[in-house]
Each structure stands twice: as structure tokens, then as C-alpha cells.
Amino acid sequence: MANERLRALEEVEKEIAMTLQCAGNIVLELSKDKHNASFLDRQLLQFQTSVNRVESELSGQIRYLTQVATGQPHEGSTYSARKDCQMALNRAEYAKVKLGELGRTCEVMLEQQQQQQPL
């Protein structure tokens, strides 16, 4: 849910850039001797759509925040679950180390046996 709102705000940023781009295209087209009317109409429509979309989206976000914000700091945390998970991973790592030691001990014993056998 948080990601959707943040993505919506990123889309708004793109819309703002689009608005300025359209305004620049319109002025550029007007500066020419012969204007392309259809191009001007399209750019103008896009400019108006972008401005309205930016305004409505940002108003909606501000309205949502007015309803949701409490003014208090959030005191939630994932610390306990993260610590438990870290302990579980430590247990697994410790078991791995101990099994490694056991394996090396067995290999040493086997090598000693193989060395003694030819004699």
C-alpha cells in the first residue's frame, strides 16, 4: 500500500515534467512561421490534462494524509523478529561449523588409516 502511494507520487513527478515539456513545445511551435494546428491542439490538450491530473492527485494525497496523520511518532519495530531470525541463522551456522569439524576429523582418521595400511 505504501509503495503504491509512493509510485503514484513518482508518476506525478513525471506528469509535472510532461506539463513543462508541453508548454515549451507549444511556445516553440508558435514561434515558427507556419504553425501546425493539430500539433498545437494535441499539445494544449495534453498540457491541460497533465495540469489537472497533477492537481487532483496531489490534492488527494494531501486529503488522505489529513485523515491518516496522527502527529505521534510510530513506535512499531521489526527488531524482535529480526533478532530471532538472526539467532536461528546463528544456530544453523554453528551446526555447520561443528559438522565441518567432524568431517575434517573423520578425514584425518581415514588418512592415518590409509598411511598405516601399506605397512
Partner 1 sequence: MASQRVLPQSKETLLQNYNKRLKDDIKSILDNFTEIIKTAKIEEETQVSRPTQAEQDHYEMHVRAANIVRAGESLMKLVSDLKQFLILNDFPSVNDAISLQNQQLRSLQDECDKKLTALRDEIAIDLYELEEEYYSSSYSLWDTSDVPLCEAFRRPDTWTSPDSSCSSPSEEREEVDGAPDSNPQHQLNGHSTASEKP
| Binding-site ranges for partner 1 (CB under 8 A) | 1-2, 5-6, 9, 12-13, 16-17, 19-20, 23, 26-27, 30, 47, 51, 54-55, 58-59, 61-62, 64-71, 74, 76-78, 81-82, 84-85, 87-89, 91-92, 95
In the complex, what is the shortest distance from the CB of residue 12 to partner 1, in angstroms, rounded to a whole number?
6
Shortest Å distance, C-beta 26 to partner 1: 8
Closest CB to partner 1 among residues 42, 58: 58
**Which amino acid is located at 46 in the chain?**
Q
Please give the radius of gyration of the chain, using alpha carbons only, rounded to the nearest integer: 33
CA atoms within 13 A on the CB side of 27: 5
Name the residue type at position 19: T
Smallest distance, partner 1 to C-beta of residue 57, A? 10
Cell matching residue 16: 509535472
Which residues contact residue 15 at a Cβ distance below 8 angstroms, ignoring those fewer than 6 apart? 50, 53, 54, 57
